[in-house]
Structure 1
Amino acid sequence: MKQVNIINFLDINKGKLATTISEDYKPVFLKQGDLDGACGPYCLMMALLINGAVEMEDVNDLWNIKLSSRLGKLVKAMREHDTLFTNGTDIKDIVLMVDNSFGK
């Protein structure tokens, strides 16, 4: 039988999941990119997939991609930016990477 467990000390505050264990509401939910700053590259890869510029098989194996291909050049630029994108990426970073990989 399926069971639903209620966590009493969680609530939504200002649109964010938060804990009510202390007097202050403290956010507790993390989403993709919160820890590694790679949300920009994830969005870019999804946009390239949607537009047919890359194939899922290629995106699923970025470590073994031919670096001289258009996608490979993009992956190389992402690696040079920093493996974990600890400083995040902004639109200028993404535009530069795409322009250098896929052309203008």
Structure 2
Amino acid sequence: MRISLIDGLDWDISETGSGSLSNRRGDKVHLRQGEMDGACGPYCLVMAMLARNQLSRRQAKGVAPVDMRTRYGRLMQALERHEPLVRVGTTGDDLLDLLGEISDKEYRVEKGSGRRMVELTRRHLQENIPVVLGFHGRKSSDIRHWGLAIGMSEDAFFLLDPAHELQRGLAWNAVLTTDPHGSRFGYRYLNPKGTWAVCLKEMVALL
């Protein structure tokens, strides 16, 4: 199986390195919920910015000063005005509202057909653009989640999932299959805790 990651991502394997997935600055890209304010959707937007080298890890964790004129600074200001998103999570419309508030026109959004979202996600990943994917499981699963697609194979997308730790030496911590199996919940979402049947709901690509 051939797996490809978007350009600009690598492992920090120096003698004193973290052994984690890093961007060109050497910053860890994966964020775990609790490391900054926000729910899984905003976390994925910020990880996309980290993957594209648009901010530093210190800025994402609130350690270094943030220029409020930048895309990230405007996103943080918008999040502060929408504190409920931290508690209850975000829908695709919420993410679009956030992007609209930061006057960011450089994004691609798709809802509806899972096959269409898979096709567009593949196209974006081939162009080295990470994609935020939203998916839901059956009611009994409580899966209403976002993950950041950073790589792919013939039958899966490889995700950075803010709900789980990223083990040292691994580039992803969740997988989403790309070939649906019959039902509405035909895709499979795999993370360190198990496997769930899900449907693709929406995608957002920061261009």
**TM-score, normalized by length of structure 1?**
0.52
Q: How big is the shift at 1:66? A: 3.2
Q: Which has the larger radius of gyration?
A: 1
Query: Residue 37 of structure 1 contacts residue 89 of structure 1 at CA under 8 Å; is this kept in 2?
Result: no
Q: Which amino acid aligns with 1:86?
A: R
Query: Residue 37 of structure 1 contacts residue 87 of structure 1 at CA under 8 Å; is this kept in 2?
Result: no
The secondary structure found in structure 2 opposite 1:45 is helix
Q: Which amino acid aligns with 1:65?
A: V
Query: Residue 78 of structure 1 contacts residue 97 of structure 1 at CA under 8 Å; is this kept in 2?
Result: yes
The secondary structure found in structure 2 opposite 1:85 is helix
RMSD: 3.1
In the alignment, what sits opposite 1:103? 104
> Structure 2: which 5+ residue stretches go unaligned?
1-31, 106-207
**Residues matched between the structures, number:** 72
> Structure 1: which 5+ residue stretches go unaligned?
1-30
In the alignment, what sits opposite 1:44? 45
Summarize deviations over 1:61-102 as a string: whole Å, max 9, x none.
179523333211100111111066222111111122124326
Identity level (%)? 33
In the alignment, what sits opposite 2:56? 55
Q: How big is the shift at 1:32? A: 4.3
Query: Residue 38 of structure 1 contacts residue 89 of structure 1 at CA under 8 Å; is this kept in 2?
Result: yes
Q: 1:62 to 1:90 in 2, by over 3 A?
A: farther
Which protein has the bigger helix share? 1
* Residue correspondence of structure 1 range 1-104 to structure 2 within 5 A: 32=33, 38-61=39-62, 64-82=65-83, 85-101=86-102, 103-104=104-105
Q: How big is the shift at 1:55? A: 2.2
**TM-score, normalized by length of structure 2?**
0.29
Q: Which amino acid aligns with 2:60?
A: V
